[in-house]
């Protein structure tokens, strides 16, 4: 049994409506608690960036379900590795909806204050999620 971390980015489907996020988070929290998966999801109206941590087969199975979800497209793995410890152990799925207060954090980790994980390296995306998780914990 190995712990792994998977990081991916995706684009919201053309017909994606922000109100669908509640149903996504509901499924994520329900399933992730059951599967002991932890992580973080950041979104704006165009892009998703998600980190999943947990037992390798459970992370892989969860990602396979997520990858075929019609609510997003262009699902692109940015990073996958074995890990010794979790970074998001407090979150069955931490959630950050991009807002004005996060622009400084985006700018710190990317070329623009506008959230676009497709213009960022995997390492920068991971660092961004870590910092967003700290920011929302203290809000």
Per CB under 6 A, residues contacting ligand FAD are 23-24, 27-28, 30-32, 41, 48, 50, 62, 65-66, 69-72, 93
CA-based torsion, 92, 55, 74, 125: positive or negative: positive
78: which 2 tokens? 């940015």
Q: Which residue, 64 or 107, has its beta carbon nearer to ligand FAD?
A: 64
Q: Which residue, 56 or 71, has its beta carbon nearer to ligand FAD?
A: 71
Nearest distance in Å: CB 97, ligand FAD: 12
Whole-angstrom distance, CA of residue 28 vs CA of residue 41 = 10
Q: Which residue, 32 or 96, has its beta carbon nearer to ligand FAD?
A: 32
65: which 2 tokens? 């379900």
Nearest distance in Å: CB 20, ligand FAD: 7
* Element containing residue 133 per DSSP (H, E): helix 122-137
Whole-angstrom distance, CA of residue 132 vs CA of residue 104 = 11
Q: Which residue, 17 or 108, has its beta carbon nearer to ligand FAD?
A: 17
66: which 2 tokens? 């997520």
Enter the DSSP assignment of 117. Answer: G
Nearest distance in Å: CB 29, ligand FAD: 8
Nearest distance in Å: CB 72, ligand FAD: 5
């Amino acid at each position: 049994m190995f712990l792994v971390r998977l990081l991916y980015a995706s684009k919201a489907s053309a017909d994606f409506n922000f109100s669908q996020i509640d149903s996504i988070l509901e499924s994520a929290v329900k399933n992730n608690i059951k599967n002991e998966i932890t992580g973080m999801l950041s979104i704006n109206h165009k892009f998703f960036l998600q980190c999943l941590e947990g037992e390798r087969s459970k992370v892989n199975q969860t990602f396979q379900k997520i990858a075929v979800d019609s609510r997003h497209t262009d699902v692109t793995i940015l990073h996958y590795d074995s890990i010794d410890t979790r970074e998001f152990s407090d979150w069955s799925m931490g959630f950050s909806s991009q807002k004005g207060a996060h622009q400084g954090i985006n700018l710190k980790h990317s070329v623009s204050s506008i959230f676009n994980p497709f213009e960022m390296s995997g390492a920068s995306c991971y660092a961004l999620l870590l910092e967003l998780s700290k920011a929302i914990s203290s809000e």
